[in-house]
Chains A and B, each alone.
Chain A
Amino acid sequence: MPSLKSVKTGAISAMILTSAMMMNDAEALTVYTAGPGSLAKSLAAGFEKQTGVKVNIFQATTGKVMARLEAEQANPQADVLISASWDTAEDLQQRGWLLPYQSPNAANVPAAFKTDAYVAQGISALGIVWNTNSHTPEPKTWQDLTGPAFKDQVTTPDPALSGASLDLLIGLQNGEGEKAWQLFDQLKANGMVISGPNAQAVTPVLQGAKAAVFGAVDYVTYNNIAQGEAVKVIFPENGTVVAPRPMMILKTSQHAADAKAFIDYVLSDEGQQQVAKAWLMPARTDIKAQRPLITEIKLLPVNQEGGSERAAVLKRFATLFGQ
Chain B
Amino acid sequence: MARALFNGLILLALLVLVALPLLFIVLQALFPHLSEGEWRGAFSALPTLLEDPQLVPMWLGTLKIGLGVALGSLLLGLPLGALRGLFRLPGAALWDLLFLIPFLTPPYIVALAWTLALQRNGYVAQLTGLNFDSLLFSSSGMMLVMTLNIFPVVYFAVSRALMTSGQRLAWVARVHGASAWRAFWQITLPLTLPALAGGVLLAFTLAIEEYGVPAALGARAGLTLMTVGIEQKLADWPIDLPGAASLSLMLSVVALLAWFCQRKLTGSSDVTAVSGKPVSQDAADPGGWQWPMLLLFTGTTLLAVALPLGAMTLSGLLNTLSGGIHTSNLTLRHFAALFSQQGDALTAFSTSIGLALGAALLTGLLGFLIAWRVAEGKTRLLALMDGLALLPAAMPGVVIGVGLILLWNRGFWPVSPYNTLAILLLSYSCLLLPWPVRYVSSALRQLGPTLEPAARVHGATRIQALRLIVLPLVAPSLLAAMMMVFAVASRELVTSLILAPAGTQTVAIFIWRQFEQGSVGQGMAMATLTLLASLSLMLAALALLRGKSG
Q: Which residues of A contact B (CB under 8 A)?
A: 2, 5-6, 9-10, 12-13, 16-17, 20-21, 23-24, 28, 30-32, 36-38, 41, 56-64, 66-68, 70-75, 77, 85, 87-88, 91, 131, 133, 158, 160-161, 163, 166, 193-200, 202-204, 206-210, 220-221, 223-224, 227-231, 307, 322-323
Given A21-B422, A37-B516, 16 more A-B residue pairs with CB atoms under 8 Å apart are A2-B545, A13-B357, A16-B355, A21-B420, A38-B517, A67-B239, A70-B239, A73-B36, A74-B409, A75-B410, A85-B237, A160-B235, A161-B235, A193-B219, A208-B324, A230-B322
Q: Is B316 an interface residue (CB 8 A)?
A: no
Cross-chain contact A67 with B241 (CB below 8 angstroms): yes
Whether A64 touches B544, Cβ cut-off 8 Å, given contacts A20-B420, A24-B419, A163-B236, is no
Q: What B residues does A194 contact at CB under 8 A?
A: 219-220
Complex alpha-carbon distance, A300 and B43, angstroms:
42
Q: What A residues does B137 contact at CB under 8 A?
A: 193
Cross-chain contact B236 with A161 (CB below 8 angstroms): yes
Q: How many residues of B contact A (CB 8 A)?
A: 69
Cross-chain contact A63 with B236 (CB below 8 angstroms): yes
Q: What A residues does B222 contact at CB under 8 A?
A: 322-323
Complex alpha-carbon distance, A38 and B402, angstroms:
26
Question: What are 28 sample pairs from A and B whose C-beta atoms fall under 8 A apart?
Answer: A10-B361, A12-B357, A16-B355, A20-B501, A21-B422, A24-B503, A28-B503, A31-B502, A38-B517, A59-B513, A60-B497, A61-B516, A66-B237, A71-B409, A74-B406, A77-B502, A160-B236, A193-B219, A196-B216, A196-B219, A197-B516, A203-B518, A204-B115, A206-B321, A209-B120, A210-B120, A227-B519, A230-B320
Q: What A residues does B422 contact at CB under 8 A?
A: 17, 20-21
Complex alpha-carbon distance, A91 and B237, angstroms:
9
A24, A36, A198: the one contacting B420 at CB < 8 Å is A24
The minimal Cβ–Cβ distance linking B429 to chain A, given in whole angstroms, is 12
Q: What A residues does B358 contact at CB under 8 A?
A: 9, 13
The minimal Cβ–Cβ distance linking B516 to chain A, given in whole angstroms, is 5
Whether A208 touches B121, Cβ cut-off 8 Å, given contacts A36-B517, A75-B409, is yes
Complex alpha-carbon distance, A21 and B521, angstroms:
33
Q: What B residues does A166 contact at CB under 8 A?
A: 236
Residue of A nearest to B333 (CB): A227
Residue of B nearest to A206 (CB): B321
Q: Is B548 an interface residue (CB 8 A)?
A: yes
Complex alpha-carbon distance, A30 and B418, angstroms:
14
Q: Is B116 an interface residue (CB 8 A)?
A: yes
Complex alpha-carbon distance, A56 and B503, angstroms:
5
Whether A58 touches B322, Cβ cut-off 8 Å, given contacts A66-B239, A74-B35, is no
The minimal Cβ–Cβ distance linking B194 to chain A, given in whole angstroms, is 25
Q: Is B44 an interface residue (CB 8 A)?
A: no
The minimal Cβ–Cβ distance linking A120 to chain B, given in whole angstroms, is 17
The minimal Cβ–Cβ distance linking A85 to chain B, given in whole angstroms, is 6
Binary flags per residue of B84-105, CB closer than 8 Å to A gives 1, else 0: 0000000000000000000000
Residue of A nearest to B475 (CB): A1
Q: What A residues does B129 contact at CB under 8 A?
A: none
Cross-chain contact A207 with B321 (CB below 8 angstroms): yes
Q: What A residues does B322 contact at CB under 8 A?
A: 131, 133, 206-208, 229-231
Complex alpha-carbon distance, A131 and B323, angstroms:
11
Q: What A residues does B36 contact at CB under 8 A?
A: 73-74
Q: What A residues does B350 contact at CB under 8 A?
A: 16
Binary flags per residue of B320-345, CB closer than 8 Å to A gives 1, else 0: 11111000000000000000001000
